[in-house]
Amino acid sequence: MGIDVTPHASVDAFFHEVLNDALHSVRVSATEPAGWYLVSLLGDFTRARLPDEPLAVKLAQSSAGDAGERVRTLKEVGDTSLYVAGFFAESLSRKLVDADYYIGLGRGAYAELAGRLGSHSITEVYRELAEGFPGFVEVLAEIRRRVDFAGDDIVKLYEQWVRTRDAWIEKKLRALGVFVDPGAKTVQ
């Protein structure tokens, strides 16, 4: 039995596929522009470091700056909050600030950004991200679970498939050369 590995021409193509699967899995809808924004955000964070400065401090300091700097800061705070809350929710539960802190911060940043930009084409994307922020956090958390399988051992991945019967996990197991029996009983 050969390994079925789907090559991707770019990081964006990979994240687009994973994003669509995750949106479907957690039953969150996104417009096409918002979906591509999330794909871009995920690609950006594969190449960027998270900022060291606390986001709330950065946000407060930018209120005294010029309008362009405020817009850049709002985008950074929104994007970073969404990424951190989605990808690191489990570890945040053991920290002083939790995912709710990042959800509030990011939602507010995107809402202010949408209000500041007026009639630009990106305004609706920021408005959608602000209004649906908790759902998009769930989507990113689902993406993390899906792309983090390489770090888990195959047995854990298989056990997750047995519990969930998730088609995406099944596809990845098959790509790893694991025989998946769709007729096997589900573990309760």
Clarify whether residues 141 and 173 are in a common domain.
no
pLDDT given at position 149: 53
Clarify whether residues 50 and 78 are in a common domain.
yes
Rounded to whole angstroms, the Cα distance separating 17 from 188 reads 30
Residues 12-33: what's their mean pLDDT? 92
Residues 53-71: what's their mean pLDDT? 88
Give the pLDDT confidence of 108-150 residue by residue, as tens digits.
Answer: 999 999 999 988 889 999 999 999 999 999 999 999 887 765 5
Clarify whether residues 96 and 78 are in a common domain.
yes
The percent of residues above 90 in pLDDT, for the chain, comes to 43
Clarify whether residues 164 and 125 are in a common domain.
no
**CA proximity to 19, closest of 122, 163, 138:** 138
Q: Please indicate, yes or no, if residue 3 is contained in any of the structural domains.
A: no
The percent of residues above 70 in pLDDT, for the chain, comes to 77
Q: Higher model confidence: residue 142 or residue 188?
A: 142
Q: Please indicate, yes or no, if residue 4 is contained in any of the structural domains.
A: no
Residue 129's domain spans which residues? 11-148
Clarify whether residues 182 and 127 are in a common domain.
no
- Tally the domains of the chain: 2
Give me the helices (H) in 132-181, please. Answer: 133-147, 154-164, 167-175
Clarify whether residues 71 and 137 are in a common domain.
yes
Q: Please indicate, yes or no, if residue 42 is contained in any of the structural domains.
A: yes
Clarify whether residues 107 and 180 are in a common domain.
no
One-letter amino acid of 91: S
Clarify whether residues 124 and 74 are in a common domain.
yes
Using CA atoms, how far residue 69 sits from 60, 62, 65, 79, 105, in Å, is 12, 7, 6, 15, 17
* pTM, two decimal places: 0.74
